[in-house]
Amino acid sequence: MSDHAGDRLAAALGHPVIERISSQLASRQPFEAAWDNQTRLAAVAAILRVTDQPELLFIKRAEAIGDPWSGHMAFPGGRHETVDHTLRETAIRETREETSIDLLAHGQLLGVLDDLAPRSPRLPRINIRPYVAVVRPDVVIVPSHEVALHFWVPIGSLGAPEMQTEHEMEFEGSRLRFPGYRVGPHVAWGLTERIVRQLLGLLSH
- 95-139 per-position pLDDT tens digit: 999 999 999 999 999 999 999 988 776 777 889 999 999 999 999
Segment 31-43 mean pLDDT? 88
* 181 part of a folded domain: no
In a domain, 19, yes or no: yes
Who wins on pLDDT, 144 or 36?
144
* 173 within a domain of the structure (yes/no): no
pLDDT of amino acid 153: 97
> Residue 2: is its pLDDT beyond 60?
no
CATH number at residue 115: 3.90.79.10
In the chain, the number of structural domains is 1
Structural domain range at position 79: 3-155+189-203
Angstrom distance (rounded) from CA 159 to CA 37 = 38
Measured from the Cβ of residue 165, the count of other Cβ atoms closer than 10 Å reads 18
The reported pLDDT for the residue numbered 69 is: 67
In a domain, 61, yes or no: yes
Residue 10 lies in a domain: yes
- Asked whether residue 66 is domain-assigned, the answer is yes
- Mean pLDDT in residue range 140-166: 95
Q: What is the pLDDT of residue 19?
A: 97
Q: Is the pLDDT of residue 3 over 70?
A: no
* pLDDT over 90 at 174, yes or no: no
Cα separation, 101 vs 40, whole angstroms? 24
Alpha-carbon span 125 to 41, nearest angstrom:
9
Which distant-in-sequence residues (6+ apart) come within 8 Å of 120 by Cβ? none
Global pTM? 0.93
Residue 172 lies in a domain: no
Task: Please report whether residue 56 resides in a domain.
Answer: yes
